Structure 1
Amino acid sequence: MTERTFRLHDTSLLVSASTGEPRRDRVGDRPDYETFNRLLSVLADAGFAIGRDPQIEKNWPILGRYHREGKRSTPAGDLWFSAETYPTGCRIEFFQQVVTVNSNGGKYDFDRRQKMPYLIGKAFEAALRRMRAHLIERGFAEEVKLESPVPDPMAYFNAKWNMEHERRNGTNRFQRGPDGWPDDTVIGSHGNRLDRDKVRIEHGSVRYFRTHRGHLMRGRVYGGINGMWMVIYGPGLRDHTHLSCCELFLCDPREVPRRLHPRGKARLQKALTAAVETENYERAIVLRDQLKRAA
């Protein structure tokens, strides 16, 4: 039997559990019906009415045995779930139909937890607590997915790059240096590790970059796999980006424009050419000087 884990993504509980037992009727392993049915029993005890998924029964009846649907009523509306089991585990996905954006219903919305009315959200949290406690009691390990490298960039990097066998063995992917980050044997001492001005980039060092609107930004850089560096530029969970090494540079922010038009040189050159062709030489002189400053 493989390692048994579970994790939460928005309102979906994803369980990794394989029996390793072959199916009798087709190629592949038999789903872990015990784990699936036990979780459904936990939800039934939490007040959910559970049955076959009518959409599956209508369109793909042969798959009906692997799918279930249920709902629990609250004063704010119904909390629904759809459940599915498969050879490598099972999935239970919660949704509601009160506040929706997708024309096909709340099941297909993004950010489903955020859209839940207060009482429906509390019912979801209660159901999740019961399922989490049940799985942990049965020996499942919870995987916590990091959504941001802020405030721990190394933990985020490892979570993104380490494979299952590395997590299981407590090791890290890639050859690491004394600082715990990938070393030159992985990144390379040239090319991928040199910024726009051919200066070597160290993990945690400060670099500047420009946004797609031309604004000057400053951050600390980490990673460097395939020449792409993770840049953290603020304390917020969304204050990060990934940039190529050739987009990073050092500068004195007092001596460079805070904003440059992303296509500034090309735009000035085009205007200069047009001014010369129309013999507007006064305008051409101004544009020439602007182009020199931009360079």
Structure 2
Amino acid sequence: MLPAMYERFLSVLARLRDHRGFRVHQDQNVNKRIRRCYYVGRKGDLEFHAEAVGRTFKIEFFQNVNVENRNGGRYDFDKFARMPRTMQLACAVEMSHVLRKLLELGYVLEGTRQGITSAELLPVLRHAQGRTDEGDPLATFNRGWGEDRFERDQSGWPTATSVNSGYGGKDRDGRPLVSGETMYCRRGGRLFRGVARPGPNDNWILISHGRGVHAQARELFRCEDPAIETRRFVPGQPKRVHAELQKAMKANAYRRVEALARVARKLEEASSTAARGGHGR
């Protein structure tokens, strides 16, 4: 273990012990010769195991209230999901403090799908980075561009002319866009509906249920019948579905194969209709 890395490891453990109230000590189940690199801690029913090896160290939280593995919660899969709701919240708070300490030590947090940016723990990373405006697209916009920048309308959003150099922008069909109007766009082959708000450089933000999707003006469109629009043929989509179908077949994921096969058939029908000129705007 590199001395500098070991010092950081102990610094994080000290944060949990001195500031967060954990009882922290070396893991007595580990051989004495390497015990200095293995620690365990506990605060109420929330526990953690920490180890430092080579150039890395890790801290893993778990509990022994709702356990499946006979050797204890430390060896369970889906540790966070198994925690009672109140313990999940407590765990999120403690992880947030660990992340804050890592930020103080100069680390840059880059989550992965398997790590701290999974669906359950993404709010922890946001809180650790001081991003408390998630779910509020206007606050997110102001954090990036400033609250005093641009002329604003009654909603608090910039006016279209102030952010787009005098041009309000036109949608997919050449019609002028209006701030606050319900519009649609496509993302990943899916139809997204939201309230349109203008952003800089001819970008617009579609807002729905606290989520904002960025799109250029020409990607937006009005839609009287979403059911018709969802059947619109999208070039390239059949190829993507076919690739996913092949992956599912190799993985023997039969339910997914069946579902993707149905989608592929519908796309083939839509493609045939498009080739005959049967789908217009």
Q: Normalising to structure 1: TM-score of the pair?
A: 0.43
Q: Normalising to structure 2: TM-score of the pair?
A: 0.45
Larger Rg belongs to = 1
